[in-house]
Amino acid sequence: MDIQGFLASVENGGAYVEADLLVDLGMRAALGRDGGVDLVSAHMYFNLADRKGAAGAAVYRQDVAQQMTRAEIVQALKAARHWLSLH
């Protein structure tokens, strides 16, 4: 699924977002491919991907978490819960 498919799925029900796309979005955020590095978003995407069973997502999330403050991790967890509440 490409980004257009992702955007459409968000509008029509994020439950259909594929785990691999969430991993890709997490990587993009972690590496700053779309601007600055965003570890909060990366953690959120990896967390969501892990919930969908993506291989390696939990390890990526742990790697990102090691670079984050406790407050940033809390923010990422809240963002993931918010995303899940919408989808």
pLDDT in tens, 24-80: 999 999 999 988 999 999 999 999 999 999 999 999 999 999 999 999 999 999 999
- Residue 82 pLDDT grade (very low, low, confident, very high; cuts 50, 70, 90): very high
Q: Can you give the three-state secondary structure of 32-83, one letter per residue?
A: CCCCCCCHHHHHHHHHHHHHCCCCCHHHHHHHHHCCCCHHHHHHHHHHHHHH
Give residue 8's pLDDT.
Answer: 60
Torsion sign, CA atoms 29, 43, 20, 80 = negative
pLDDT at 87: 74
Residues 14 and 68: their CA atoms lie apart, in Å, by: 26
Neighbours of 70 (CB within 10 A): 8
Confirm whether pTM is higher than 0.95: no
